[in-house]
């Protein structure tokens, strides 16, 4: 599903692909844009794994379209991790607490 998200830094909307929110009570699928060398990416994935939240991992170094999506979301920057939650909310380089709070698990 395509969604239009507001990029506050660029003051314009950007189109990204997001997973649909599920209606069976589960949080749904979220997407984590990463690189292999990113320590913050490892932390975000560890938090998601620890709390049992499923996610799609996309390595932007191996996927030019994903890299372009990350740049569009982040005002031209290749910020990782960039997380797109099922409701369309975007988190760029979140702390553990910001990630847990966005998931409603704080």
Q: Which domain holds residue 84?
A: 2-18+29-97
Q: Which one is predicted more confidently, 47 or 18?
A: 47
Alpha helices in the chain (DSSP H): 39-51, 64-73, 96-102
Residue 91 counted as domain residue: yes
Per-residue confidence (pLDDT) for residue 19, from 0 to 100: 39
Secondary structure of residue 14 in the 3-state scheme: strand
Beta-carbon contacts of 2 under 8 Å, excluding residues fewer than 6 positions away, are 15, 16, 17, 18
Count of domains for the chain:
1
Residue 104 counted as domain residue: no
Q: Which one is predicted more confidently, 93 or 106?
A: 93
| pTM exceeding 0.85 | no
Q: Which pLDDT band, with edges at 50, 70 and 90, does 23 fall under?
A: very low
93: domain CATH number? 3.40.30.10
Residue 24 counted as domain residue: no
Structural Rg of the chain based on CA atoms: 13
């Amino acid at each position: 599903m395509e969604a239009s998200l507001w990029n506050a830094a660029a003051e314009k909307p950007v189109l990204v692909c997001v997973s649909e929110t599920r209606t069976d009570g589960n949080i749904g699928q979220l997407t984590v844009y990463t690189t292999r060398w990113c320590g913050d990416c490892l932390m975000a994935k560890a938090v998601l794994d620890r709390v049992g939240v499923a996610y799609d991992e996309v390595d932007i170094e191996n996927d030019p379209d994903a890299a372009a999506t990350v740049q569009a979301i982040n005002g031209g920057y290749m910020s990782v991790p960039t997380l797109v939650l099922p409701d369309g909310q975007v988190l760029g380089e979140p702390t553990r607490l910001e990630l847990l709070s966005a998931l409603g698990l704080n």
